Amino acid sequence: MKTHIVPVLIAAGILATAAAVITARGGRLVATAGAADAGAVARGSYLVNTIGCGDCHTPLKMGAHGPEPDMTKFLSGHPEQIGPMPAVPARGGWLWAGAATNTAFSGPWGVSYAANLTPDQNTGLGIWTEEMFIKAIRTGRHMGASREILPPMPWPAFRNATDDDLRAIYAYLRSITPITNHVPDAQPPAQTTN
Ligand code: HEC
């Protein structure tokens, strides 16, 4: 009996050791990838919240001390409940007008609405790849390929960011809470005669 049990126990021991090593290796690999992602997300959070993407992409609401960002709508763009804003014709030195939320802007470019930057699949950056995001910021084209991105989105400044920083911003934007908010389409410049 003993002669049978001993080899079995040894074999089981070897298997257990092998399994432990694989698990440890797997754990380490996952931990390494996780740490790299966490690093990018942290850097992206620092960049987004220092540059102030939310100044235009998070709607303002009226608070006790005046307008303040509505953090329940963090980076979700112009609220669809407010809907499209009437184009305001420029007069004299008054070139542009904005919504109280600071998410819609009327000017010589027409009316632009700050986009939903949350990872919501249908109304946010859900289907955007990292490549699309970097290309959009670098070229000033929607999704990196189609129509021009209108003012006041400061892509001509953001295009100077490094690939690593843009990747970090993208990683962070993927990590925030998805919010379903269908931002209205941009409108062409107002046809006005006065
Ligand atoms: C001064 C206001 C403002 C700031 C600050 C701002 N944006 Fe925007 N952003 C806009 C507006 C307005 C649009 C919509 C433009 C349009 O429809 O053409 C936009 C659109 C976008 C889009 C969508 C472009 C597309 O292809 O549809 C992305 C992505 C974006 N912004 C990312 C950012 C990031 C990231 C930051 C911070 C690093 C930022 N924005 C800061 C105003 C701003």
| Tens digit of each residue's pLDDT (9 = 90 or more) over 84-129 | 988 887 788 888 999 999 999 999 999 999 999 999 999 999 999 9
In the predicted model, what is the mean pLDDT of the chain?
85
Say how many CA atoms lie within 13 Å of 118 toward its Cβ: 22
- Ligand 1 centre to CA of 58 (Å) is 11
For residue 55, the ligand 1 atom closest to its alpha carbon is 5
Parallel, antiparallel, or unpaired for β 66-69 and 97-98?
Answer: unpaired
Atom of ligand 1 nearest to the CA of 185: 17
Q: Is the pLDDT of residue 6 over 50?
A: no
Report phi then psi at 91, rounded to 5: -135, 130
pTM (2 d.p.): 0.84
C-alpha of 130 from chain center = 10
For 35-89, how does the pLDDT look when each residue is reduced to its tens digit (9 = 90+)? 669 999 999 999 999 999 999 999 999 999 999 999 999 999 999 999 898 888 7
